[in-house]
Amino acid sequence: MNPTDHSNSSDQGFFGKFAGTQATNEFLKGLWRDNPVFVQVLGMCPTLAVSNSAINALSMGLATTFVVTMSNMLISLLRNFIPKQVRIASYVLIIATFVTIIDYAIQAISIDIHKSLGAFIALIVVNCVILGRAEAFASKNPVGYSILDGLGMGLGFTFALFCIGSVREILGSGSLLGFNFMPEAFEKWVIMVLPAGGFFTLAMWLLIFNGYKLKKASHE
């Protein structure tokens, strides 16, 4: 996959004069064309584990967005200063720093969310989406594009987690973002909040996503 491949111009309508520019493409590719979950199939551990409710999925997605954007920014700023031999160690150090920062921030926002995300906040450090963007993009591109790349990838990750989390919560708990709206007669699908439900839902979304892409490609 070429990170600076800017051939996609399908979003021209919404983005007006910015459509097709390099900046727009860097941002959009993570949201849809190179979505880290639905296309690259990266970061599967948090995707499956934390998506048992929409709020957990959103929290994890936004935390990851912050870490990937900030680490991309700092790595890009220091890209000419970091020697090749110690680049991975440096990236991990930078990523771990932003994970620590988001850990404190989540504790300041809500102890309940921090408790429900548990060990997975610390595990953002080893999310391959983040190290992948650092190595494949931020270490080779200017700061502005690296920030947009991180933001796009992070929001794409959040979008995918929210898609999975909302389906699992609706079917498994009869609610969305904590609001119960299903009729009382609705029998909850307990399996959907269990680990197996994560696999089922991910498979269903991959099917929909790839089916849509194939259909679109065949029309073009």
The footprint of another protein (CB under 8 A) covers 49, 74, 78, 81-83, 85-86, 89-90, 93-94, 96-98, 100-101, 104-105, 107-108, 110-112, 115, 118-120, 122, 195
In the bound state with another protein, the residue whose beta carbon lies nearer, of 25 and 71, is 71
CB burial of residue 142 (10 Å; 0-12, 13-18, 19+): exposed
φ and ψ of 176, to 5 deg = -135, 125
SS3 176: strand
Q: At its nearest, how many Å lie between another protein and the CB of residue 111?
A: 4
In the bound state with another protein, the residue whose beta carbon lies nearer, of 78 and 128, is 78
Q: At its nearest, how many Å lie between another protein and the CB of residue 16?
A: 36
In the bound state with another protein, the residue whose beta carbon lies nearer, of 97 and 175, is 97
CB burial of residue 59 (10 Å; 0-12, 13-18, 19+): buried
Q: At its nearest, how many Å lie between another protein and the CB of residue 29?
A: 28
Q: At its nearest, how many Å lie between another protein and the CB of residue 23?
A: 26
Residue 160 carries which side chain, given as an amino acid letter? A
Retrieve residue 142's tokens. 């200017």
Q: At its nearest, how many Å lie between another protein and the CB of residue 14?
A: 35
In the bound state with another protein, the residue whose beta carbon lies nearer, of 118 and 178, is 118
Q: Are 42 and 128 in contact (CB under 8 A)?
A: yes
In the bound state with another protein, the residue whose beta carbon lies nearer, of 38 and 66, is 66
Query: For residues 190 and 169, what is the distance between their CA atoms, to the nearest angstrom?
Result: 10
Q: Are 165 and 173 in contact (CB under 8 A)?
A: no
